[in-house]
Chain A
């Protein structure tokens, strides 16, 4: 079945540094990928929609210069958290749209980011 691999599964970084999270569709081509953020005991919040070969569409309130999204190929999208601060600590989850799946969406296993 469709598999989305997200890497790393967890990362700890210092304040002010940047962190890159990768999302790969392993057995299908994903023209569209989605990035979510989830704080403890809260629901998933959609951050942005990433389309291969074009600029990402960010949800209201999400800073595009802080959360850089690149979707340069049909199997890879990356999210870079720039100049990370402790308040950016969260669980980041990607999802890829697989047109061959009945439900259309496959989620990665998530990345736990801790900024110290």
Chain B
């Protein structure tokens, strides 16, 4: 699976949009971009994933660049409960690629 690079930490004001970048310059054509988050001492929680097109759900939006070498997770109106470590993961679509490999992630701190 392609490697991802994320900033170590970011801050965001409550109520503002949080934009979390991820670089995955070695991504291949059949690899998806997944985002998970982990609130302290809990299991990871799925947020969103995509292949080429931008995606939106009730939690967030995922913007993938046209060359697919980077993406941005957008939390439109961050709340204090969104403080967590956010993981960007690139994963293939079959076989041994079913496993998720976590990088170091970005610690997002939402401030009042």
Binding partners A and B: yes
Give the Cβ gap from A76 to chain B, nearest Cβ, in Å. 17
For A44, list chain B residues within 8 Å (CB). Answer: 38, 44, 102
Give the Cβ gap from B92 to chain A, nearest Cβ, in Å. 12
In the complex, the answer to whether B41 meets A110 with C-beta atoms within 8 Å is yes
- Which one, B42, B43, B99, contacts A49 given CB within 8 A? B99
For B98, list chain A residues within 8 Å (CB). Answer: 32, 49, 97, 104
**Interface residue total, chain B, C-beta cutoff 8 A:** 19
For B49, list chain A residues within 8 Å (CB). Answer: 102-103
In the complex, chain A residues 6-35 whose Cβ is within 8 Å of any chain B Cβ:
6, 32, 34
- Which one, A32, A104, A109, contacts B42 given CB within 8 A? A109
Residue of A nearest to B91 (CB): A104
> How far apart are the CA atoms of A105 and B42 in the complex, in Å?
15
In the complex, chain B residues 17-53 whose Cβ is within 8 Å of any chain A Cβ:
34, 38, 41-46, 49
Closest 4 CB pairs of A and B: A107-B43, A44-B102, A103-B46, A43-B102
Using A105-B46, A108-B43 as known contacts, list a sample of 11 further A-B pairs with CB atoms less than 8 Å apart, ordered by residue number in A. Answer: A4-B43, A34-B99, A46-B100, A46-B102, A93-B44, A95-B43, A97-B98, A101-B46, A103-B34, A104-B98, A112-B41
Chain B residues close to A by CB (< 8 Å): 34, 38, 41-46, 49, 85, 87, 98-105
